[in-house]
Amino acid sequence: MSRSTMPRPIMAPWPLVMLAAPLLPFAAQDGAALYLPQLPVALALFALTVATILARRLPGSALGEALLLLAGVAAAYAAPLLLLNQGNALAQAGGLWIYVAGATLLLWRVLALLAGIAGPVRLAGPALFGLALVMLWEILTRGFQVPTILLPPPSLVATAFAANAADLWDDFRQTVLISVLRGYLIGCGAGFLVAILADRVPFLARGLLPLGNLASAVPVVGIAPIMVMWFGFDWQSKAAVIVVMTVFPMLINTLAGLQSADRIQLDLMRSYGAGYWRTLAMLRLPCALPFLFNGLKINSTLALIGAIVAEFFGTPVVGMGFRISTQVARMNLDVVWATIAVAALTGSLLYGALALAERHVTAWHPSFRKR
């Protein structure tokens, strides 16, 4: 039986906990508790969610069931936002929170159905999970009136992002396009070349590996001020921090990859009369590609972290680290979270691009075929 025709699993009963929600208040206004029958919009949304659960078996496919249940989850997540816009208080609305909790458990069913579908539809699962986290963040912070100084809701962060888009672009250009990319290329390139040299001269490898472990244990907040004093406040000091953080992970991964070729393969190359450099180019480097990409992916996040932390200790009046440190001092936490969102999105895109390149470049490798 193919994966696409496998029977759908039975849904767990946990989402049905929402059926207890009408017994408790759904909102409060002027100190008076409001129950579900008193809130027509919430009642309609609750009925829609329950209807999707009851009708989940009507679609003839797992995708149809997932889409139907997703409509019920969306209705549940929309209910608290609509109630808040109507001026209701939700901190003591036990019934509403049970409803949202049941919808979140229902979302788990949707994600399980999508994970069992072959093809590009499976990619919708991670996207829906991330979107659900953002929605819950918005609902909980606004519903429980969390002070924005502690945790602003995503809507406020989005407003700050739009209002400060020009500054955030300048910060991105200074931190990522100038500091991170240069330091990343220098650090990874230096680590790769030193690994080739250490592989050619074995005693260097025995001496460099302990140094790599020592460098990995040094906190970035310790070396960043030193690099700023040595190289100044511009991008050179940030690139120097990135090089220190990225050269040894690349070195260690490259050395491990060069040693991954099988002995029988090396003996075959010797039988063909291949020397060190030809064996390196035709056998050992291709075998090391998964390790090289592993080092590149690790360094893609380390480089961004190193640049942002280094900007805390001195930078031109632009950069992600500069923006975070100055806006925290001004208590503009929405701008801080907008900067964090840009950094997180940038790191995820860099990592994802490298992972996609790895899939294309190493598709032939046995380690990839086993995934």
Main-chain dihedrals φ then ψ at residue 195, nearest 5 degrees: -65, -40
pLDDT tier for residue 354 given thresholds of 50, 70 and 90: very high
Main-chain dihedrals φ then ψ at residue 6, nearest 5 degrees: -65, 145
Determine the Cα–Cα distance for residues 46 and 320; give it in Å rounded to an integer: 43
Percent of the chain exceeding pLDDT 70 equals: 95
Q: Where are the domains of the chain?
A: 3-146, 161-369
Mean pLDDT, all residues of the chain: 86
Read off the pTM: 0.80
pLDDT tens, position by position, 65-96: 889 999 999 999 999 999 999 888 988 889 99
pLDDT tier for residue 6 given thresholds of 50, 70 and 90: low
Q: Is the pLDDT of residue 4 over 50?
A: no
Which residues are registered as beta bridge partners of 366? none
Tokens linked to 338: 């907008």
Neighbouring residues of 233: CB distance < 8 A, sequence distance ≥ 6: 314, 315, 316
Give the architecture (CATH level 2) of 161-369: Orthogonal Bundle (1.10)
